[in-house]
Structures are given as C-alpha cells and as structure tokens.
Amino acid sequence: MTFSDLEIITPILKAIEDKGYKNPTPIQAEAIPTLLEGKDLLGCAQTGTGKTAAFVVPLLQKLFLTKSNKKGKRMLKALIISPTRELAIQINDNITNYSKYTGSKSIVIYGGIRQHKQTSALRNGADILVATPGRLLDLIVQGYVRLNKIEYFVLDEADQMLDMGFIHDIKKIITKLPTKRQSLFFSATMPEAIIELSKQILGSPKRVTIEPEKTTAEKVSQYLYYVSKSDKVDLLKYLINKKRKKSTLVFSRTKHGADRIVRFLKKSNIKSEAIHGNKSQNSRQKTLQRFKKNKFPVLVATDIAARGIDVSKLSLVINYDIPNVPETYIHRIGRTGRAQEVGEAITFCSSSETNFLKNIQKLINQQIQIISDHPFHNQKNIDIVEKRKNKKNKKKSRFSASKIRSAKEQGDNLKLESKKRSSKKFNFKRRFKRKKN
Ligand code: AMP
C-alpha cells in the first residue's frame, strides 16, 4: 500500500515524499482513512509506530479542506495534548514538516520556561495548538487560550498522563472543549483507568491496536547480559567501546543513577550526558538536540525524560537497570528500530532484577537471548537466588498441602477448613507479591 491509496491530498503527499516515506506504517494505514471519515479513534500504540503522522496527516488534510478565505486572526481548531515537553515539541515538528505545502499554522506550549513568547504566539493566532496539560490549564485560566472553536482533539500517550498525575488537569481541559468535535485517544497500554478516561472523551470510536510485541520483536534484536550490580558500569564501558555505535541511549531507573553513570563514563573518556527530571526543561531539550546532531555518543536517561525521544538511526538502547513495569521495556527498546529501521537493545540483569525480567519476557512472549561471552558474565548468583526462591515456594506449598491431607485423613472438618483457608491466604499473598514485582 502507498500513501496515495489513502486519498491524501497532493500538498501533504508531497511533504511525505520529501521526508522519504514510501509506505504507510500499519497504524497509519488503519487510522488515516478512519479519521478522514470523521470518526473518533482509540489507538493502542506506542511511539515508534508512526502514530504521530497517523493523526497529524488527516488533521492537516481536514484543516486544509475546510480552510476559509476570510482574513483575520486564526482561531484554534485543533488541540493536541502530550504529557512531556519533548513529545510536544516533536509533534509540533511533525506538523511543521507535513504542513509545509498546506499553510496550517501551529503553536507549541509547555511549562518550565517563561510564558511570554507562548502568549504572544497565541495572540497572533494559529490553527493547531500542541500543549502539555499544566501550562495549557494555566494559560486557559489567564485567558490566553480559548478552546470554544476546537473541532479536533487529540490526547497522546494517555497512560503516561496518568502516571505523571495529569489526569485531573485533563478532565478539567475536556470541560472547556465543545461537545461536537472529533476526538482521538492514543495510549501505549490500556489499563482500566485509561479505558474509563477514553469513555469520557470519545463517542463510539474505532479501535486500532498495533501489538507492541510484534513491533518490537520483529525489528529490534534483543540481548540479555547477566551481570552483578557492581560490574554494571564496567560492562557498560566494555560494550560502548566494543560496539562503537554512533548513538547509544542508556536507561537508568533513577536520576542519581543516571548522573553516576555519566560521571563514570567521563572518567573512562566516553562522552555522555544525562537527561532527567532534575534538569531544567531547557537543558534537557538542548542536550537532546546535541545528541540528535551526534555531538556526543551516549545519552543517559530516565524513563520520564526519555518519553518522546525520537532520534532517527538510534543504533543501540541499553537497559542499565531493568524497568519494573514491563510495558516500559517496550517503550524503551522502541527508541531504536524506529519505523523501518533495525535496532538493537541490550538489557543488564542482576540477581535482584530477575522478577522484572520474568514479567517482561512474559509480556513480549519471548525469551531474550542471553549473551554469556563477555568478561562480566554472572549467571551463577542468579541461578542460586532463583533456586532458593523456588525451593522456598515449593516447601511452603508442600507444607500446607500435607497439613490439608492429614486433616482429611483424621476426618477433622474444622481443622480441614482452617488449613484450606490458610493455604488460600498463602497462595493469594504469593500471587499478590508476584504481581507487585
Ligand atoms: P512516531 O511513532 O510518530 O514517533 O514515529 C516514529 C518514527 O518513524 C519517526 O522518526 C517518524 O518520522 C518515522 N515515520 C513515520 N511514518 C513513517 C513511514 N511511513 N515510513 C517511515 N518512517 C516513518
């Protein structure tokens, strides 16, 4: 299938051609016709699938086709909300690219910087507003933003909004929108709270799901390195020197951890920089731009800061720490192997992270290939910990099973019931513990 099969108008087709894209990605092939028909859409897809163009292209087409010739200030017709500044800027860049022959105008607003430039851009008028929730609400309250003419509303990365505590802001923003509008809702995962929120926003949407397992497993080569916690830095240095990739993204679970990694790499003469929540928005954006321009080879990031990082040809992702939420693993490795590229993702696993690893492998429905041919391989400790855990669990369940059996044999119904109850309780606790991990 080509983009022209999707009945996209020539000025946008030309802009897509300029980007060098020939065929729509699966989410684009499904979403673009649905959105051009004017339907609401519930998209379950992660970044890296081409989902931004999937909503930006039809949006620009609709704006172009309904453009009025009236002179005067432009009124906001479309609102796109994104959880992070990085992602908002990226969406706005996409709009700028795809609209270069249609003439739509967009503005991006986000917190962490002075509002003056943003408010004067708003005063001059635009067709599309891309915003993070906090700054948007702030400017609504101050009277700089009016949403009463919005015809298209996009909520991107809804699950991340929830994680970041933006849900109340979103609900407040929705009350400011006209009820007659086309709404689009994107989320990488669909937990219950997100489904509930989507019901408040969408009419009867078409649902498009792009399975994360497929997108990641097909395009990203994934490798697992067993290593003790204390050897992780040395393994990192070893791999960076061995692989000599142009751009490597390293994920750390904590901000301090990220800074520690940068300090260590500096000592080893490897240029790297960190982005995380303790850095100002401005410095995060600058670092990201420099990384994109290949000014330094290693970027160390925490999950929140890394949302929306779109570096074309990012060759390697290293999970220095395993994420405790399995879906985050998919997000992380989705930074490499974007759209049509092939990527590589390496995960370090120490003995305290085996449960996280298990959950990830369950989610992606595959065992990540273990690489043991390196100087820091340390599977022994992990095997010992695993064996101990299994033994403990087996012993406990055998213990309660034998008690139930003996109560049965003695015909002691009271004892039997009590043992069954405690066994149930034990199994429940075990399941709960497993879930928590
Ligand atoms: P997204 O999921 O929107 O963050 O897009 C992921 C990456 O794929 C970005 O670098 C896009 O520019 C790129 N991309 C989007 N659509 C296509 C396409 N049809 N073919 C190739 N690359 C694409």
pLDDT tens digits for range 200-256: 899 888 888 876 544 555 678 999 999 999 999 999 999 999 998 889 999 999 999
**Ligand 1 touching residue 50 (CB < 6 A):** yes
Is the model's pLDDT at 191 over the cut of 90? no
Is the model's pLDDT at 14 over the cut of 80? yes
CA distance 56 to 32: 9
pLDDT tens readout for residues 421-435: 666 665 656 665 555
**pLDDT band for position 399 (50/70/90)?**
low
- Give the mutation target among 288, 338, 342 for probing the ligand 1 site: most ligand atoms within 8 A of CB: 338
Between 65 and 335, whose confidence is greater? 65
**What is the SS3 assignment for 23?**
coil
**pLDDT band for position 437 (50/70/90)?**
very low
pLDDT of residue 214: 47
- Give the mutation target among 55, 340, 341 for probing the ligand 1 site: most ligand atoms within 8 A of CB: 340
Q: Are 359 and 326 in contact (CB under 8 A)?
A: yes
pLDDT tens readout for residues 106-115: 999 999 899 9
**Ligand 1 touching residue 53 (CB < 6 A):** yes
Stretch 99-106: mean pLDDT: 95
Cβ-proximal residues to 188 (8 Å cutoff; 6+ apart), any chain = 44, 45, 46, 47, 157, 159, 160, 212, 327, 330, 331
pLDDT of residue 18: 93
Proportion of the chain above pLDDT 70, given as a percent: 85
pLDDT of residue 278: 82
Residue 113 phi/psi, 5-degree rounding, is: -135, 170
Between 91 and 208, whose confidence is greater? 91
Q: Which DSSP letter does residue 284 get?
A: H
pLDDT of residue 332: 86
The residue whose C-alpha atom lies closest to atom 19 belonging to ligand 1 is: 24
List the single range of 12-26, 94-108, 183-197 with lowest mean pLDDT: 183-197
Calculate how far, in angstroms, residue 204's C-alpha sits from the geometric centre of ligand 1: 27
Is the model's pLDDT at 16 over the cut of 50? yes
Strands in 106-109's sheet, in edge-to-edge order, are 106-109, 128-131, 78-81, 152-155, 182-187, 41-44, 206-209
**Ligand 1 touching residue 29 (CB < 6 A):** no
Q: Tell me the Ramachandran region of residue 157: left when phi exceeds 0, alpha when psi lies from -120 to 50, beta otherwise.
A: left
pLDDT of residue 212: 53
Between 365 and 256, whose confidence is greater? 256
Average pLDDT, the chain: 86
The residue whose C-alpha atom lies closest to atom 5 belonging to ligand 1 is: 50
Return the sign of the alpha-carbon dihedral for residues 3, 9, 15, 18.
Answer: positive
Calculate how far, in angstroms, residue 161's C-alpha sits from the geometric centre of ligand 1: 22
Cβ neighbours of 119 (radius 10 Å): 16
Is the model's pLDDT at 366 over the cut of 60? yes
Calculate how far, in angstroms, residue 397's C-alpha sits from the geometric centre of ligand 1: 50
**Ligand 1 touching residue 49 (CB < 6 A):** yes
Is the model's pLDDT at 31 over the cut of 90? yes
pLDDT tens readout for residues 402-426: 666 666 666 666 666 666 666 666 5
